[in-house]
Every structure is written in structure tokens, then in C-alpha cells.
Chain A
Amino acid sequence: MADISNNFVGIKSPNPFWLASAPPTDKAYNVERAFKAGWGGVVWKTLGEEGPPIVNVNGPRYGAIYGADRRLLGLNNIELITDRDLYLNLREIKEVKKKWPDRAVVVSLMVPCEEQAWKTILPLVEETGADGIELNFGCPHGMSERGMGSAVGQVPEYIEMVTRWCKQTTRMPVIVKLTPNISDIRYPARAAKAGGADAVSLINTVSSIISVNLDNFSPEPSIDGKGSHGGFCGPAVKPIALNMVAEIARDSETASLPISGIGGITTWRDAAEFLALGAGNVQVCTAAMTYGFKIIEEMTSGLETWMDAQGHQSLDDIIGRAVPNVTDWQYLNLNYVTKAKIDQDACIKCGRCHIACEDTSHQAITLMVDGARHFEVIEEECVGCNLCVNVCPVENCITMEQLPAGSKDQRTGKKVVKKYANWTEHPNNPSVTAAE
């Protein structure tokens, strides 16, 4: 059986699945239920500095988008950091860590951007015996207006500065949580590294308005007829998160920086993809908030089963394995030619491939052949774009078949060449011509 135990910047946990800092980790009651269910670790719901507790709205704080059968695809929230007393949280963190020594307990923090504020809170956290801290530079709403959260996360200089203060003050590993609400994720990651961060974690939630109520024209969730932008998370944000993780993993400046992958992880498969793109472990929030803690059983067993089937013995065998295959568009092989192929036995004749290709693409799929409804790829027209594969409701009904070297591409009339050739050397590339 594959070993899925995890060591992330020296923090050990029986599996790589942590609960992200959010409502599931807001108090001992929830965290203990999570540990009982089998979660490897938690990042405690973000703590703020000492003082009157944070005030949340008293109306709805979540909104959602759905897929078929009301399956939740994305959640948006306008919740703030913990609204419980700092010392109550610290006490509970200490008790839980003592009771569950084999699980990771990391504490998320967000205090004002002043050195003293961080120097005050860090010893208190250290005293709990927690395994590490996560700096919340990600929250896009509520706190950013107060100069915290993503207000800091969007300015690389601040990230570096705050990270350095923390590293100088504490022996605990420092994980910097990044906001996706920025145009190039590599800059904050580089800043975190420069400040001495042990790792980054990403993504926090994406700034969003989830929907608008068309009866009273209020954004949702609606508080007395008004709404505010919130943070978007859940399955819908996974592609954004995957790309950002990969960007950091393959950036030469941050290549060695450990990453805790977050964003839309719902199944073992999602987690495996994050690990493959360079995440050293993963964090989950929305999936747990949607289905409860029991999903951890599917996640761990699914990961183990897949690793066993593939012959991977430990997480080290898979972490970062896809990173070398992430490249820039200009290096993709232009001599790799594919054509769509429809399995006529599997086809249920819904016509979606035809209309998608006919209306919006390359007119490469038939509708009628010899007077009968029949869907077939016209090789002379097919550019191999994959749209039909994506819209076909039947699994594996349309496949992309590579044209073997030496055969003729019916569309271009040219022979398929075996040699790898990319855009940088393509005759149509003006910069190639210029170089001559």
C-alpha cells in the first residue's frame, strides 16, 4: 500500500489533506470532528489581534452557483476572520494540539501591517505548541478595506516585510497564503521567498459577485437589499488555482519554495493534480463545507488506490511530476497533428458536436449522410480543436487521434512530419524573419 504520510516544511501529518483556514477550523469542536474523521491537519481559522472580537454580518454570508441537480459548483462568502475571542481560540488550539499530536495544527493570522502587532501575537501562538503559522494575505473582502488581507497580499513589498518580521520573531515555520486577485502570482511568491517564507499556500478566494437578485436588483448574498463583493471558492476556481500553483512551481526564482495547494479540491483526483503540479500538500474548504468531513475517506483511499495502481510508493513520487510538462505556448510542438474521431457505436446522435462545429468552429462534422442522421468528422475541415470532444455528452465517444508521421493531413494537404517544431522557428513568426 502506498504511503501517503506527509512532511510539509517539517510539519508532519498522516496524509496530505489539511482543512483550509475557514469555518470548518474555527473551533475545537469542528477540528476534533475533522481529526476523528481522518483529516491530516488543519489551518486554524484566521486569528486577529487582541481586542473586541470581529463583527460579522447577521444576514446571509454565502451565495452559490450550481450545476445539474443543484450540485454546488462555487461558493462565495463575505465572512471575516474569526469572530471569537483571541484567548479562547489560543486555549483551544493548545488543547487540540496536545490531544492530537500526530496531526498538523497551523494557525492562520491576520493583524495590522505593523511590526509590533506581529511581535505581540507570535509568542502567544508559539505558546500553544502549534506546528506553524500561515499569514493570511488573501482575504479579498472586509479585512482588505482595513489594510489587511489582500490589501497586503497585492503589494509584494509588504509581503516581504511582514514575512521577514515573522521569521525574525518566531521559530515556527511561516507559510504565506497568497491572494489570486493579482495579475501575476509570481511576484507575491517571489516576495514571500525573499522575506524568508518557508512556503506559500494558494489560492485564497477570488473576488466575486456571485449573482444578482432580479426581483430587487441586489447582489447576493443580500443584506437588507445591498450586497458586497465576496470571495469565490469551490470546484469552479480549481483551474485558476492549478495554473497559479504551476506558475510558482516552474518559476526559476521560486522553484524550490514549497507550496500548499488550495482551491476547489473536491476529490482525491483534484488533490493528485495539485500534487503533480508541485504542491507539497493540499488544503480543502468548500468540499468539506458542502459534504461534511467524511469525504476525507474517499480522498485518502482514492489517492492510495491510484498510487498503488501506478506503482507510486510515496508522495515524493508524484509531487511536481507534471511541472516539467508545463511550458509556454511557443514551445508546443506544431507538428503534432490530431483529428477528431467519432465512435459510431457509442454515438447517440444528439447532434451537439455538429452544431458546435457548424455554428462556431470549422464546419467539420456532418449532420446527414445519405439521407440519414449521421455524425462524422470531415477530415478535410477538422483542425483538431477538441470542441466536439468537450461538448459530446457521451464519455469517450469522440476521441482525438494523432496522425502518424508520414501520413497526409487532409486539411492542409501536407505530410505529417515527425520532427518537433515550435513557433519560435515557424516561418510565419515575424521575429524569426527579423532574426535572419
Chain B
Amino acid sequence: MQGKARRKRMVEGVADGRLSAAELQENFADIHPPLDQHEALVASDRCYFCHDAPCVTACPTAIDIPLFIRQIATGSPMGAAETILDQNILGGMCARVCPTETLCEQACVREVAEGKPVQIGLLQRFATDAAMAKNKQFFQRMPATGKSVGVVGAGPAGLACAHRLAMHGHNVTVYEGRKKPGGLNEFGIAAYKTVDDFAREEVDYVTAIGGINIHYGQALGSKVTLEKLRDDHDAVFLGMGLSGINALGLKGKEPKGVEDAVDFIARLRQASNKGRLPIGRRVVVIGGGMTAVDCAVQAKLLGAEEVTIAYRRGQDQMNASRYEQDLAVGHGVIIREWLQPVKLKTKSGSVSGITLEYTALDRKKLVGTGETITLAADQVFRAIGQTLGDDNGSAVEGSLRLSGGRITTKPDGATSLAGVWAGGDCTSHGDDLTVTAVAQGRDAAEAINTALQG
């Protein structure tokens, strides 16, 4: 490495431009490049066309996987795309972001038999990419019903709900707090899982069915009330995700350099030039889920020298799958387990280190052992779980029953309040997966449709 380039990379503190444009480009390229035509045929030939296939049961949206794979194998990627999108209108994004290793591909009989599942996710991407490249629309709106539904949030849950409602002939108004649609598809998913402007293109593809009006900058709570939505519409769907972050719970004022992982990722996803994004030389991420892994890996890819994930329990209990953990380790991230944060060290107003206490299980309860370790850190990211958030919490509190800080729903998405449904991360049934949010949005739309017709 040239002296100058090396000096830039190793600059102390939080700094931008650690890597060259070429390095950044390579680092943030598609992590699973798409299959080409031949690869797709070979991969699809491996599917056994199982009866009552376990992979379908494992997919939260219950895509008819053997059927769509057979359609690819027989040279009909468009038919395959229709099969996929019929169950999951965000099948393109799901193909990129689903942790298939814990969903469909884990259940695949060839995983059971050989430890080598059919590449369901990549095949799903092959088919949906083919359809989107041609902007082939498979669904038409039924005759207008004259009913209108208000949808809060243009994330996966809201979009899936809106699309299905539009299909049934209802008019859908989407209230989105931000200036852009997509929810975490646009702001949260790791950059290397959804490259280019795919999230945005997919929203356009989904809303092309018509009958869906998205109003931006219209946050429930500040701009509109639940009351008003119920008055203005025949039904309401809440899909506002989780916008709050759990606090680290440390004493004293937080120094500079401590940030929510999701905010950091959102900045990264929106950055037009990643070379301008400042990143610490030494980074510590607190947490053990997918967000922690995505944050740590992307910090590393931006050029941080040392990135550590500190998790308060053992690796086996981490929410991030083994595959995700290996991905982190493969990128040079250090995963340290049984550590909980106790104190931040500060130097001239900025964080300079973090003291962590070792933990242990005492009769199933997590306790600190008293022993501590201090890691140098120019930047500390919180990735310890999201909450409904203060604003959204108060917007619904009192009107809707909550459980565990999320909206209580029935399996079809009905909330405790008549005429109001909910789905996705904001509900007690959400499991922080895009595909689950899609399934719940779709199912709530069906329930709303039934209610509106009744």
C-alpha cells in the first residue's frame, strides 16, 4: 500500500475517505450475484418438486416454491415470477434479504439430505428480476368498490397491504412519515444485499397496479391522528414498523460518537458517496441481531480497522443466524460474547472507549460477574432492539391494546379497535423479517376486504 493511502486508512478517530472509490465499489457490490440463465437452469434442476413441500411451509408467505422452480426449469421465468408475486408482491426484495438459511432453504429436503439446499432465494431473484426487467405486470384491479382504506407506512407491510387492497378494487391512501417509500427496504437493509436503487424500483413496480396514493411527510401522530384516519377511511391499516431504539441504559450524558445502528445504516443507504461517510478506526457494536451484524460488517467495509460486536449472551443465543455470524467473522469482525456495557470512556467530548462487564447465567438469569474489560472505541453503535418509539407509541396508546410494547393483533391482523388492522414489525406477531411483514400486510388486506364486503 502507498504511504498516503495507508495513512488515510489508519487515521485516528472518526474520519471519512478511509478507502478508495474502487475499494468501496468492490466492498459494497452484490453479496450474492444473480444467477445467469445457465446457472438458474442447473440450480432449478436440483429441485425434487416435493409433495406438500417443507420449503413452502417454511416460507412465511407460502410461495409455491416447487411450482415456480419447475417453471424456471421449463423455460418460463415469467410464469415463475407470477407464482411468486401472487403470494408475495415484494418477492424481489425477499429474494435478496430473506435469511433463507433459517427459512425455506433450511427446510429444503436437499439441505436435510446433503447440507446443500436448492438455491431458492437466488432462483426467486432470477424469476422476479426477469419480470421486473420487462416491467411485466401480472395483476389487474378488480372493478372499483368505492371503498377507501388508509395505510400508515410505506414499508413492506404497508406496501403489501396496499397492493392487495388495490387489487380488490379499493382505493388506498398511504400515509408515510418520511420523504421516501420503502421503509427499511430503503433505509435499513444492508447495502450489499440490495444494490443499486432496487428498493425504489420495486416500490414503483408494486404501485404500478394503480389505486395507491402515497402521501409523504404525513406521520401519524404529528400530521394525522388515528381518529381522523378512521373518520376519513372505511378501514385503517397500521404498518409503521419500529422507529424507537432501546437505550444502552448507561449513566450520564452520551458523548459524541455513540449512535443508533439503524441511523448509521440509514445514512449509509442514502449516501450518494460512501467515501464521504465518516467511520471510526475502532468500532464497537452492542447487540446480537441482524442489525448488529449488518452494522458491524458495513463499518468494516467502510474501512474501520477493528470492529467488535459485543453481545451480552452466548453466540448460540444471538438472533443473527449462524450464517450471518460467519459472514461477520469472514469480514474480519470480532464477535465477543457474554459482555454487557457498563461505562463509556470519553476524551474531549467524544467517546474513546467502552468498559464492558462479563456476564454469566445464574439460574437462567443473566448476571454481571464483576470482571470488566475496556475496549478502545472511536465509535459505539447501539443495536439492542427496536421499539415502537415514543411518537408512534403515543399515537396509538390508549386507543389500541399493546403487548410487549407492540400492537396486539389477531392472526388476521385485527387490532383491539374495530376497523383498524396492523401488520409487520409494529405488531406483537412481527418477527423483524421483511417476508413476515409482507405476509401480514397481505393477510390483513384480505381480512379488510372481507370486512368491507360484509
Contact = CB atoms under 8 A, between A and B. Distances in A.
A385 interface: no
A371 to B, nearest CB: 14
A390 to B, nearest CB: 14
A31 to B, nearest CB: 34
A367 interface: yes
Contacts of B49: 352
A349 B109 CA distance: 7
Given A68-B45, A70-B41, A367 B52 contact: yes
Interface in A317-353: 348-352
Contacts of A70: 38, 41-42
Given A348-B110, A348-B112, A348-B113, A393 B48 contact: yes
A348 B109 contact: yes
Interface string B112-128: 11000000000000000
Contacts of B109: 348-350
B126 to A, nearest CB: 16
B51 A350 contact: yes
A352 B52 contact: no
B51 A354 contact: yes
Contact of A351 (B38, B46, B52, B113): B52
Nearest to B113: A348
A436 interface: no
B405 interface: no
Which of A350, A352, A354 has the most chain B CB atoms inside 10 A of its CB?
A: A350
Interface in B71-99: none
A373 interface: yes
Contacts of A354: 51
Contacts of B48: 350, 352, 393
A352 B45 contact: no
A343 to B, nearest CB: 13
Say which size band chain A's interface belongs to: 10 to 19
B50 interface: yes
Contact of B54 (A69, A373, A394): A373
A355 interface: yes
A394 B53 contact: no
Interface string A372-395: 010000000000000000000110
Nearest to B50: A350
Nearest to A375: B51
Contacts of A351: 50-53
A69 B41 CA distance: 7
B113 A355 contact: no
A69 B51 contact: no
B113 A394 contact: yes
A36 B53 CA distance: 51
B50 A373 contact: no
B52 A373 contact: yes
A351 B42 CA distance: 22
A361 to B, nearest CB: 14
Interface string A51-68: 000000000000000001
Contacts of A355: 51-52
Given A348-B110, A348-B112, A69 B45 contact: yes
Contacts of B54: 349, 373
Contacts of B51: 350-352, 354-355, 367
Interface string A82-97: 0000000000000000
A393 B48 CA distance: 7
Interface in B34-64: 38, 41-42, 45-46, 48-54
Given A354-B51, A367-B52, A373-B54, A349 B112 contact: yes
Nearest to B112: A348
A351 B54 CA distance: 10
Contacts of B112: 348-349
Contacts of B46: 68
Nearest to A368: B52
A394 B50 CA distance: 13
A68 B48 CA distance: 12
Interface in A393-409: 393-394
B66 to A, nearest CB: 10
A313 B234 CA distance: 88
A118 to B, nearest CB: 49
Q: Top 6 nearest A-B pairs by Cβ distance?
A: A351-B51, A355-B51, A68-B45, A348-B113, A350-B50, A348-B109
23 contacts: A68-B42, A68-B46, A69-B42, A70-B41, A70-B42, A348-B110, A348-B112, A349-B54, A350-B48, A350-B53, A350-B109, A351-B51, A351-B52, A352-B48, A352-B49, A352-B50, A352-B51, A354-B51, A355-B51, A367-B51, A367-B52, A373-B54, A394-B113
Given A69-B45, A70-B38, A355-B51, 8 more contacts: A69-B42, A70-B42, A348-B113, A349-B109, A349-B112, A350-B50, A352-B49, A394-B113
